[in-house]
Amino acid sequence: MPEPGSTLSIGNRVAFHRRQRGLTQVGLAQRLNRSVGWVRNIEQGRRQVDSTTVILELAAALGVEPNKLTGRPLFPPPSGPKLPDPSGVLADLRRVLLHYDGIHGLDLPDDRAPRPVVELEREVQVAEQTRRSDPRNFSAVVWMLPELIRDTRHAARHAGEHTAERRRAWGLLARLYSQATGALWQWGDDDLGWIAADRSIRAAEQTDDPLLILVGIRTVQQPLLAKGHLGEVIDLVDAGGRLIAAGKDARPEQLVLLGGVQLAGAFAAARAKDPAEHARLRRLVEQAADRLGADRLVFGNNFGPGDVALQHVGELVELHQPAKALRRAEQLPTDPLPQVDRRAFHRIHQAKARFLQRKDRETAGLLLQAWEIAPELTPHEQMTAEMVRAMAERARYRYNPQLRILVDRLGIA
């Protein structure tokens, strides 16, 4: 039986995978510790899936990845003047991440002189800046990655053992694999993104630099969070803390990178509905942000008071406290941070809060704003399509022009 199409609701997909596993609605209800009526209403669309937490519970009970239930819309091919063959770019990225370039004769020959690391460093910084600032941040970056990874790996391989040049090259590789992880999450290739994250932390370990190992840890947290492994995301906070003690002598760059790891843990704790752990981690990130005094960027990773405040809105939504989330959002500037993804998520968090309050016009308006800011990110955020589908069902007899635009863009019947 083929996988269900991308336009089906989460309820349709739950029913499909339940039957695939030979489960009755009673059996699924028992696994979830829910009533049979709750399962029936989810499958029949009479009850909406209103949070990522519910998606994770259903996915765990059915033994599938969360994206099998969300059915994110098919991502259009990357586009732009640098991409005459988009499918070729993606195939090349897969080859370089899976390390089978040599089999195809596509890796760099050993007798080719490696590029200077300082030159590669400049290009990595360009890729990181492009991903932060370009609205089409997937298409703008993905074409850079295969050649940069290949050249940097070649430089690392040919640098002398135990040299500063070798450590710098491996550090650049850790950052490039981190960029690839983010791009592949956005593309929807979670398995390849997981491989990129593993490459990032392995490259970071070659540097013996705790800061770069924290970059690798933060990178691994992203696919773990997407796959619903919330406890592991939180466990990595303590692993990061063992690398760097955030005491009074901690340097700003240490606070930025450890704070980013802690912030991901706080979000995971909120999603796991663990208020005690969430409160503990939120105290840590707020202390680190207060000590920094302003948002800073280290190795392509941002952290500071703006980041902490913005994500607090999303955490409150995950804790099903929409009124508090909106009050927190109202305390912030319209765009507390300049990065494309942060500006978009500021609106997506508020849209989720409005959705929980069943304020559909405001929800649709915020999602459209996010879409205009980040058209390659917003449609593929985990709850976007389900919110639009639920609002379309509720609005059968009420005309909402902004919702109509979203329905058409997502191809929802």
Q: Among all chains, which residue has been given the structure tokens 């979670």?
A: 190
Whether 368 contacts 406, CB under 8 Å: yes
Mean pLDDT of 78-87: 64
What DSSP string describes 97-132? HHT-HHHHT-SPPTTSPPPPHHHHHHHHHHHHHHHH
Instruction: Look up residue 84 and give its amino acid.
Output: P
Whether 165 contacts 152, CB under 8 Å: no
Answer yes or no: is pLDDT of 218 > 70.
Answer: yes
Q: Among all chains, which residue has been given the structure tokens 């990225």?
A: 93
Q: Which residue has the higher pLDDT, 228 or 353?
A: 353
Mean pLDDT of 66-94: 68
Distance from first CA to last CA of the chain, Å, rounded? 22
Answer yes or no: is pLDDT of 25 > 90.
Answer: no
Q: Among all chains, which residue has been given the structure tokens 């295969």?
A: 146
Give pLDDT, residue 163.
86
Residue 298 parent element (H or E): strand 296-298
- 364 burial type by CB count under 10 A (0-12 exposed, 13-18 middle, 19+ buried): buried
Whether 354 contacts 400, CB under 8 Å: no
Answer yes or no: is pLDDT of 331 > 90.
Answer: yes
Give pLDDT, residue 53.
78
Mean pLDDT of 98-127: 76
From the list 281, 310, 283, 316, the residue with the least C-alpha distance to 295 is 310
Give pLDDT, residue 83.
60
Answer yes or no: is pLDDT of 1 > 50.
Answer: no
Q: Give CB contacts under 8 A, 24+ apart, made by 17-23.
A: 17/62, 17/64, 17/68, 17/69, 18/43, 18/62, 21/62, 21/63, 23/62
From the list 316, 315, 378, the residue with the least C-alpha distance to 345 is 378
Give pLDDT, residue 346.
95
- Name the 3-class secondary structure at 8: coil
Answer yes or no: is pLDDT of 63 > 50.
Answer: yes
Q: Which residue has the higher pLDDT, 33 or 4?
A: 33
From the list 358, 408, 361, 356, the residue with the least C-alpha distance to 385 is 408
pTM of the predicted structure, to 2 decimals: 0.82
Answer yes or no: is pLDDT of 116 > 90.
Answer: yes
In the DSSP assignment, the letter for residue 378 is G
Mean pLDDT of 79-100: 74
Contacts of 175 (CB under 8 A, 6+ apart): 124, 128, 200, 212, 215, 299, 300
- Name the 3-class secondary structure at 336: coil
Answer yes or no: is pLDDT of 107 > 90.
Answer: no
Mean pLDDT of 361-389: 91
Q: Tens of pLDDT along 65-76? A: 777 777 655 455
Q: Which residue has the higher pLDDT, 243 or 107?
A: 243
Tokens of 300: 């392509």
Give pLDDT, residue 413.
65
**Residues 34, 226: Cα–Cα separation, whole Å:** 24
60 — pLDDT class (breaks 50, 70, 90) = confident
Give pLDDT, residue 104.
46
Other beta carbons within 10 Å of 134: 16
Answer yes or no: is pLDDT of 171 > 90.
Answer: yes
The Cα angle at residue 42 between residues 40 and 47, in degrees rounded to 5: 115
Other beta carbons within 10 Å of 119: 10
176 — pLDDT class (breaks 50, 70, 90) = very high
**Residues 224, 400: Cα–Cα separation, whole Å:** 36
Mean confidence (pLDDT) of the chain: 86
- Phi, psi angles (nearest 5°) of residue 297: -120, 125
Three-state secondary structure readout of 281-294: HHHHHHHHHHHHCC
Highest mean pLDDT among 1-10, 96-105, 294-303: 294-303
